[in-house]
Structure formats: C-alpha cells, structure tokens
C-alpha cells in the first residue's frame, strides 16, 4: 500500500496492462500483473560509447558527480529515469513542471536537462525557451537539453529545436535510447567547443 505499489500500478497501466492482487486474512497476499507484450528480439543494450558518454558528462564546478535536472509531470516517468541513471552516480533533481524546472535551473549548477514536452503549469517548450533566454541574459554557458516526449512527429522535433533543445527522445524511454541521446548531445557539445 506504499509508493512502490502506486508506481508499479502506474507503470503497468502505462504499458496497457493490469496490476491486481489476491488476499486472504491471515494467509497473505499475492500480487500479479498482466501485460499485452508482443514477441521481440533481444533487447537493445546501451553501446559502450553511449555508456562512456554518460560517465564523461562533465561536472561544471569541480570534482563532483554530474548534476541532471529532470522535468516530467508523471511520477512513474521520473522514477524510470532515476533508476536508469542511478548506476551512473549522477545527482538527479526531479521536478513536476516547466516552471519548477526554470526555477531550479536559475539556482544553477546543472550539467544536463531532461525535459518533458507536455506538462501542466509551464510546458517543456516554454521552459526550454526561457532557460535559453536566461543563459543569454546572464552570460551562462549553454546547458544541454534533451526533450522527452511521446510526441515523435517531425513537427514536434522541430518545435523542440526551435525552443532551444539539443535532442529529442521519444517515450517509452529505454536505457539505450537515453544513453545514446546523452552521447549525441555531449559529442555535439565537444565538437562545438
């Protein structure tokens, strides 16, 4: 009945499945889920280059773990990204909307931003444009921003670029896609430097 069960239920529902339980007083409970998953080939693992890119994400101010800002309105999505990045030793700050992302960014110190496109209060495109304007106004270096969204159409990718994003990742997010996306923005950043 805790947070783990709520997150598990959200994840199963996001994948079109059902999470349920059988329980008898004094005997315990059995939890189960049913997912409509198609057969698939072996899962794609992150390439070594992509994993290395995550590990070489530079920390801006000294010997500390890279700081990542994640803006996503769905708690299950935030938890998935947290689990993916946890083995990399990054310091993750997660917020629920673009306004909170902008406020956290203004405090400074982030090496990478993962930004959902559709959120309440302030969407990811508006927040990205505001972050870019703040960087220019305050003479800050450009922070890589990856858009995270279920919107995969060309016009969505272009809208992200127009707002100032450096890459576009579609949900559902895999570890391989996340690491490859980070690798691409870091490679572009290194070439531009």
Render each residue's pLDDT in the chain as its tens digit; 193 residues. 566 777 888 888 887 888 888 888 888 888 888 888 777 665 555 555 555 555 555 555 555 678 899 999 999 889 989 988 887 778 899 999 999 999 999 998 898 999 999 999 999 999 999 999 999 999 998 999 999 888 778 888 899 999 999 999 988 888 888 888 888 887 777 676 6
Q: Which residues of 93-132 are buried (b: 16+ CB within 10 A; e: fewer)?
A: bbbbbbbbbbebbeeeebbbbbbbbebeebbbbebbbbbb
State the DSSP code for 153.
Answer: S
Rounded Cα–Cα distance for residues 115 and 106 (Å): 15
pLDDT, residue 119, reads 93
pLDDT, residue 7, reads 80
Rounded Cα–Cα distance for residues 77 and 92 (Å): 13
pLDDT, residue 158, reads 92
Element (H, E) at 189: helix 175-192
Please indicate, yes or no, whether the overall pTM of this predicted structure exceeds 0.85. no
């Amino acid at each position: 009945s805790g947070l783990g069960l709520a997150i598990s239920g959200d994840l199963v529902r996001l994948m079109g499945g059902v999470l349920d339980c059988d329980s008898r007083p004094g005997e315990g409970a059995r939890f189960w889920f049913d997912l409509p998953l198609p057969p698939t080939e072996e899962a794609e693992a992150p390439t070594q280059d992509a994993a290395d890119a995550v590990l070489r994400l530079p920390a801006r101010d000294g010997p500390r773990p890279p700081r990542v800002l994640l803006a996503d309105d769905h708690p299950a999505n935030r938890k998935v990204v947290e689990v993916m990045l946890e083995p990399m030793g990054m310091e993750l700050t997660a917020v629920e909307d673009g306004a909170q992302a902008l406020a956290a960014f203004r405090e400074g110190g982030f090496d990478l931003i993962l930004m959902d496109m559709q959120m309440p209060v302030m969407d990811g495109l508006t927040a990205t444009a505001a972050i870019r304007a703040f960087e220019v106004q305050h003479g800050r270096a450009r922070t890589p921003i990856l858009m995270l969204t279920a919107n995969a159409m060309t016009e969505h990718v272009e809208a992200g670029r127009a707002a100032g994003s450096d890459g576009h990742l579609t949900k559902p997010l895999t570890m391989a896609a996340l690491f490859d996306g980070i690798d691409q923005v870091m490679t572009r950043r290194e070439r531009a430097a």
